Structure formats: C-alpha cells, structure tokens
A and B are shown apart, each in its own frame.
Chain A
C-alpha cells in the first residue's frame, strides 16, 4: 500500500511565506557588492551572518508546522465536498419549522460540526492508493461558505472518502489553538476541556427546557464515552470519480437529519431536548449523527 501525505494549502502558504526573510537579505547583499565593491570574503561573511540571522525564524516555523516532504507552491483546490443537510427530502433552512419523524415540531438556529483528516482512496495501477489531509474543518450551515470543504488531491480515480467527525484525543489536549480550532468558534468546552464534535441548537414547542430550547452539544474524547469517529462514504450510483489538476469538481454529501432523530437511539424531543455534557447519552447521540454520513452524490454537472 502506497501512502503519501499532502501538504495542505494552509501549510503550504505558511511555508511559502517563510522564504521571504531569506530572499530580502540576499537582495541587500547583492546591492552592497555593486555599490560598495566589497571583497569576495567580505561578501561571503555578510551573507553568512545574514543567513545565520534567519535560521531561528526558519527553525521556529518548522517546529510549529511539523515535518514536511518539501516546499510546494500553494495550489488551488480541485475537490469540493458540499454538505447538504435535508429534512423530509427538502434542503434544511435555519429558523424554518419542520417536523421530526415522531411528528414533533422543531426549528434550528445552529448546526455545526467538525470534519477533518480527510482520506481519499482509489485503485492505483497495482496497489490501492490513499491520500490523506490532516487538518480540521468546521462545517457551519449559518455561513454558506463554511458548508463545504475544499481540498487538493493528485489526479486520478477515487471511489471512497473517509473523514473524521470531531477532534481526536491526540489533538484535544494540545493547548491553545487557532483557525478552525479557535475556542472563539464556540465549539470548545471551557469548563471541562474538550472540543464539541457537533452542535445542533434550536427550539421546539415539545421541549420543556427554558424558552423551549433544544441543544445537542455532542462531544467527548475520554473512554468509554467517546463521541469522535471516522465515517466512510461511498460514491452512489457511480463506481468512482476522476480528479484532474486543472479543474475542480464538486461532490455532495447528503445529511438526512430525519435519521438523526430516528437513529439507533430514538431522539424524541419531549424526552431528550438537550444533551450538553460528555457521557453515555452523548456517545449514543454521536452514533446517531455519524450514521448520517454514508454516501456521496456526484451532481449532474460539476
């Protein structure tokens, strides 16, 4: 099995930016030669000194970003994963009223989840090929630009996409985070450290909570009540999809919310209007949620 990791666009940009402090001193020293006619030894010494100055900067960036295969220029994405939540087969709109499979009315104001560590695989010439992108994305349906994930993968045919819902234990206790993991995103429990895997909030007349609120803040990375996991989606109808370097294709990942209520643990709003702490219930509701991600649809025209 051939496994290769890809530098994410974000990391590539940071790495690209790193080249700047190197190039500026070189320009300065080149100017020195022309105007001031330094000897070759002087020029060499200056270059050496200026290079030494930049070393701590380079090293600190490398330490922050991990190990890389090499420097790549930033590339535009060629695969767009569009998440499409539906209720009763209709696209979900926030603040619109629906009924769950048990006839209970509800409306949602927040629907967010973490998807990350996307792994795409397909048949190679001899062996199966697997590509993995290690960063996390926060999918947020209150922001249309955040309901999709853009990635870049090498050309080829793929037939399966896996991703992780939530933040795994290796990334949970690593201190202050930025980007998708910024606690400002409202997905971090501050009183009991940990990232929420998915957050569904809204109202229902069936809820006996204050203001008829419903709130499912589901997460937890401590055994046995883990609410983080990997889901595998297969291409429906087609056997595979083809990626090229020069254009982006879009794949839809439907999320039928009816099945969240009607999952292995039935969610009657009257009985379970809220769950906001890690535990056995959160673990079971996560099972309901992760069951929603099983297929990928290729839209008629990319």
Chain B
C-alpha cells in the first residue's frame, strides 16, 4: 500500500522533471540575455522537438529545404561557401545567411533588423517564396498528420495540439540554446589558454581598429551601419531603410559577429567578399563615400600588410570547434560529418 503511494508521488516528481526548465548558463563575461526565458522555459522535450523541426524538410514546400539547408552546423549555422543561399525551385535568397549563435543576446534579427523577436523569425524563411516557400496552414497540417509529432508536441507542452505558437516556441528553444563561447579567445579570457605572439599582436590591432563596432564579448554592438559598400544593381538592397522608411538608414546593415568568422565565408550582407583578406582590404582602400557612411569609416581603416596578417591570426582564435562539433546541436536523424580543426 505504501509502495503504491510512493510510486504515485515519484510519478508526480518525474512529471515535474519533464517540465523543469533546463538551465541556461550565461558564459563568463557575457551580458544578461535579452531573450525572456520565463515566457518559454527550455525543457529537454521542447529543445529536442525544436531541433527535430530545425532539421525537418517538411517545413518547406517541396521537402528539400529544412532550416538546416541554409544553416549548417559545420559553418557555425551559416551557408558554407555560398554568397546567397539556394531555395525552392532553384531560386536564390536575397541575402547571405548569417551564422546562428548567441541569439539569446539579440533583440532584432536579419541583416536589417526587420524581425522583432527570435520566436517569429522562422516565419520569414518558411513563408518566403524564394526560400522554404511553404504556407503556414500546410505546415501545421503536415505536422498534425505526421507519425511522431503529435506525441512530441504533447510531451513538450503538456497537452495535445500543434499550433503556430508551439512550433515557434519549440524552434526558439533550440535556436536560443546555440551558444558559442568556447573558442581559444574565450579560453584565453578564462585563463585556460595563452595567445601566441601573433595572436596577441592581432588582438591589440583589433582592439584599436575594429572593437568600436565588433564589441567584445559578442563581437558586435548589434547596431546598423553603412560600411561603404556600393549597392548591388541586381539586388538593390538598401538595408535598414526598408524597415524604418527613413533616408538616414539607407545602406545600413547590422554589424555581424566575428565569432567563428573563419567558418562563415563569404562575408557581407550579400556575401560579396570571399575571404577575410578581401574584407580587410575593403576597409583599407575600398570604402565608398555616401551620405549615410559610418563616421568612423570616413577615411577607411588604414591597415598595413602586417596588420592584416596579425588580425587574421587573432580572428582565427574566435573559431569555436566545440560549438560546431557539439552533438547536442546535430541532426538526430543522421550521422553527419564533423569538422576537425
């Protein structure tokens, strides 16, 4: 009799543990996250559901374009070696796919900040006719008629039902968990590694010439700036101005994080730079003057060949191999190749 009682109580507690929020450890030196975890506490079942959705082609019209088709773990969740990404029916995306990490610290998303919350971001690629090209009601229909999803949603949210909100909350539980804070730079900061002479010199140059926009520890200040890129005549992308409707925001794009920068080639909002050297050379001699050009770039950033060499040595310390090889983030349905560096 008492054993039965104990069993009842234990079952009660194990039910709690399924719902118990997983901790979100804030890396040392990082600011408090912007994402409100209290509205969407990460649970094991919610995270795993979000990961499954992230790798599932059913979120796209023809089944070929899961989120992971443009956000590849080995490229720090950017599209490796693609200026623009491929979408439905052999179409190109309009911008270079950014890496996905440390999203918990971002308030706005996309190169122009057009997305006002992490949870609603997936709607943009899912419904974009050039990208995943699907309809929202059809996605919900497919998930409802899937063998596994109804039970997984029930587990993750404590009651049956697959809704837009639950799809978005689950995806956010996965994407907000993508934290990259274990590079050589981070280890150096924690006293677990030492920079060699080249890296140390590069770090000094970085702090002097780049830190103004690529602020540590996120390596971006998340502001929108015109970095003197000429508008591409085929894309006609004026960036932030499309969102605010203000002339003074013309040609401004979000400052990208430099974490994992060795893995996220090509560079720039339209991926126009193939290599880091190309980007550095742009700041050295390629900045185009215009009314909204960032004041810090009026004269460009003078960089000698030596500066560039050391800077690249330092930028290499921002590669987080533990992040790109983290089995927690991998497609659970397939054994993918990992990157060894």
B53: Cβ under 8 A from any A Cβ = no
B1-22 residues with Cβ-Cβ distance < 8 A to A are 1, 5, 8-9, 12-13, 15-16, 19-20
A193 touching B245 by the CB < 8 A rule?
Answer: no
A53: Cβ under 8 A from any B Cβ = yes
A63 touching B38 by the CB < 8 A rule?
Answer: yes
A217 to chain B, nearest CB (A): 14
Q: How far is the CA of A54 from the CA of B41 in the complex (A)?
A: 17
Q: How far is the CA of A178 from the CA of B119 in the complex (A)?
A: 12
A180: Cβ under 8 A from any B Cβ = no
A249: Cβ under 8 A from any B Cβ = no
A184 touching B168 by the CB < 8 A rule?
Answer: no
Which of A67-75, A91-99, A100-108, A167-175 sits within the interface?
A167-175
A156-184 residues with Cβ-Cβ distance < 8 A to B are 172-178, 182-184
B117 touching A193 by the CB < 8 A rule?
Answer: yes
B128 touching A191 by the CB < 8 A rule?
Answer: yes
Given A184-B140, A190-B124, residue A176 in contact with residue B13 (CB < 8 A)? no
A177 to chain B, nearest CB (A): 6
Contact residues in B for A64 (Cβ distance below 8 Å): 39
A280: Cβ under 8 A from any B Cβ = yes
Please give me the residue from chain B that is nearest to A280 by CB atom: B245
B277: Cβ under 8 A from any A Cβ = no
B137 touching A184 by the CB < 8 A rule?
Answer: yes
Please give me the residue from chain A that is nearest to B125 by CB atom: A190
Q: How far is the CA of A207 from the CA of B5 in the complex (A)?
A: 73
B168 touching A176 by the CB < 8 A rule?
Answer: yes
A192 touching B120 by the CB < 8 A rule?
Answer: no
A178 touching B163 by the CB < 8 A rule?
Answer: yes
B124 touching A56 by the CB < 8 A rule?
Answer: no
Q: How far is the CA of A1 from the CA of B306 in the complex (A)?
A: 72
Given A184-B164, A278-B245, residue A176 in contact with residue B8 (CB < 8 A)? no
B109-120 interface bits toward A, Cβ cutoff 8 Å, 1 = contact, 0 = none: 000001111111
Please give me the residue from chain B that is nearest to A179 by CB atom: B165
A225: Cβ under 8 A from any B Cβ = yes
A195 to chain B, nearest CB (A): 10
Contact residues in B for A205 (Cβ distance below 8 Å): none
Contact residues in B for A174 (Cβ distance below 8 Å): 39, 117
Query: Chain A interface: which size bin?
Result: 20 to 34
Q: How far is the CA of A183 from the CA of B120 in the complex (A)?
A: 9
Interface of B is mostly: helix
A14-47 residues with Cβ-Cβ distance < 8 A to B are 28, 32, 36, 46
Given A53-B12, A194-B116, residue A175 in contact with residue B39 (CB < 8 A)? yes
A49: Cβ under 8 A from any B Cβ = yes
Q: How far is the CA of A191 from the CA of B13 in the complex (A)?
A: 43
A188: Cβ under 8 A from any B Cβ = yes
Contact residues in A for B13 (Cβ distance below 8 Å): 53
Q: How far is the CA of A136 from the CA of B16 in the complex (A)?
A: 33
A178 touching B8 by the CB < 8 A rule?
Answer: no
Q: How far is the CA of A174 from the CA of B35 in the complex (A)?
A: 10
B109 to chain A, nearest CB (A): 9
B127: Cβ under 8 A from any A Cβ = yes
Please tell me which one of the listed residues A50, A172, A183 contacts residue B116 in the complex, with CB atoms under 8 A apart: A172
Please tell me which one of the listed residues B20, B115, B137, B165 contacts residue A176 in the complex, with CB atoms under 8 A apart: B165
Q: How far is the CA of A278 from the CA of B126 in the complex (A)?
A: 22
B164 touching A46 by the CB < 8 A rule?
Answer: no
A192 touching B140 by the CB < 8 A rule?
Answer: no
B39 touching A192 by the CB < 8 A rule?
Answer: no
Given A56-B16, A192-B243, A278-B245, residue A175 in contact with residue B164 (CB < 8 A)? no
B88 to chain A, nearest CB (A): 15
Please give me the residue from chain A that is nearest to B11 by CB atom: A53
Please give me the residue from chain B that is nearest to A175 by CB atom: B119
B172: Cβ under 8 A from any A Cβ = yes
A188 touching B12 by the CB < 8 A rule?
Answer: no
A175 touching B242 by the CB < 8 A rule?
Answer: no
Contact residues in B for A50 (Cβ distance below 8 Å): 9, 12
Please give me the residue from chain B that is nearest to A37 by CB atom: B1
B49: Cβ under 8 A from any A Cβ = no
A128: Cβ under 8 A from any B Cβ = no
A182-209 interface bits toward B, Cβ cutoff 8 Å, 1 = contact, 0 = none: 1110001011111000000000000000
Question: What is the interface of chain B, defined by CB distance below 8 A to chain A?
Answer: 1, 5, 8-9, 12-13, 15-16, 19-20, 36, 38-41, 114-120, 123-124, 126-128, 136-137, 140, 163-166, 168-169, 172, 242-245
Given contacts A176-B117, A176-B120, 4 further A-B pairs with CB under 8 A are: A175-B39, A176-B165, A184-B136, A193-B117
Question: What is the interface of chain A, defined by CB distance below 8 A to chain B?
Answer: 28, 32, 36, 46, 49-50, 53, 56-57, 60, 63-64, 172-178, 182-184, 188, 190-194, 222, 225, 278-280
Name 6 A/B residue pairs within 8 A (Cβ), A-sorted: A56-B16, A56-B19, A174-B117, A175-B172, A192-B243, A225-B245
